[in-house]
Structure 1
Amino acid sequence: MSYVVDFVNVSTVGLESSPVAEALAGLRANEARYFGNKYDLDFTTESAGDVPDLVEYVARVLRERDIEIASIPLEATEFEVEGVRWTYVFYESGLSINVLYTLEPGGKRAVGFKLSDGMEVPDELADKFKFVRQRSKLAGTIRGSYFVVKGEY
């Protein structure tokens, strides 16, 4: 079932099983606000079980760095804007992963990690990345990190 994320009235729809559901909903709304304001795009997610190909795509890109996420994927989405494919997966732990993949050869390609307010850094990321903090009216304190994608996906 599709869910158009409302960044004005933040909802935990689809994220209820997360121990940090409110913070994860704020993080998801923060992403929706960015794409809504910058690209006039409705940020629409699907239940991860309905789009296993998106979850597997993100997992495949993460294997480039020998990363396997232990948490259960709750929601995912993919869309293309201005020649860039964006794929997001939101996990039960409060983790959000996005893959930014410019479709033209030689363009920007990266994986971004964002941690919801109140969650610990997952063990599978703790020793590999440093996380910086940013404040968000919708999500509180977000901690984020990224890596540049080397492979072709």
Structure 2
Amino acid sequence: MAYDVDFTEVSTVGLESSPVAESLAGLRANEARYFSHKYSHTFSVQPADEATDVVAYVSRILEQERGIVIASPALEATEFEVDGVRWSYVFYESGLSVNVLYTLAEGGKRAVGFKLSDGMDVPDELGDFKFARQKSRLAGTIRGSYFVIKGEY
């Protein structure tokens, strides 16, 4: 069942099994606020077992582009299109959020972004990445990194 993420009343619904559930919920709410303010889009997520196609899509890009396999189980996922960009998100039990930004027009931006919830360690599979820090009222300190997608998906 889909869940519209509320960024005014942060909730851990769907993320309860994460050891950093509250900061992961803040990270998810931070994304919801971004899409609401920038695009007037409601950020809705589904349990990962109901969005297996999104989880598989993100996993395929990670594997084919960089040989990355996320060890943590996926908890939630979403995919939507705004302003000619397809966005795919997967939130993992470890506190990791992975998003794929894929501009549908030729020559547009295409990248994978990683965000680490406050309080989680960098997963071994992402140890080669450098993470920048960003403060968020909803999520505390978010650490983020990314890479550019070279293939066609």
Shift, 1:140, TM fit: 0.1
Amino acid in structure 1 at the alignment position of 2:105: E
Q: Distance in 2 between matches of 1:51 and 1:95?
A: 17
How many residue pairs match? The answer is 152
Structure 2: runs of 5 or more not aligned: none
SS in 1 for 2:9: coil
1:107 to partner: Cα distance: 0.5
Q: Structure 1 stretches of 5 or more lacking a match?
A: none
Q: Which residue of 1 aligns with 2:4?
A: 4
If the length of structure 1 is used for normalisation, what is the TM-score? 0.99
Paired letter, 2:115: K
Could you tell me which amino acid in structure 1 is paired with residue 39 of structure 2?
Y
- Which runs of 4 or more aligned residues in structure 1 lie more than 6 Å from their structure 2 counterparts after TM superposition? none
**TM-score, normalising length from structure 2?**
0.99
Match of 1:118 in 2: 119
Structure 1: how far apart are the matches of 2:68 and 2:26? Answer: 25
Distance 2:21 2:46 in 1: 16
The 5-angstrom pairing of residues 1-153 of structure 1 reads 1-63=1-63, 64-126=65-127, 128-153=128-153
Identity %: 74
Q: What is the alpha-carbon root mean square deviation over aligned residues?
A: 0.4
Q: How many Å apart are 1:105 and its aligned residue? A: 1.1
1:19-71 CA distance string (max 9 Å, x none): 00000000000000000011111000000000101000000110110000000
Deviation at 1:92, TM superposition (A): 0.1
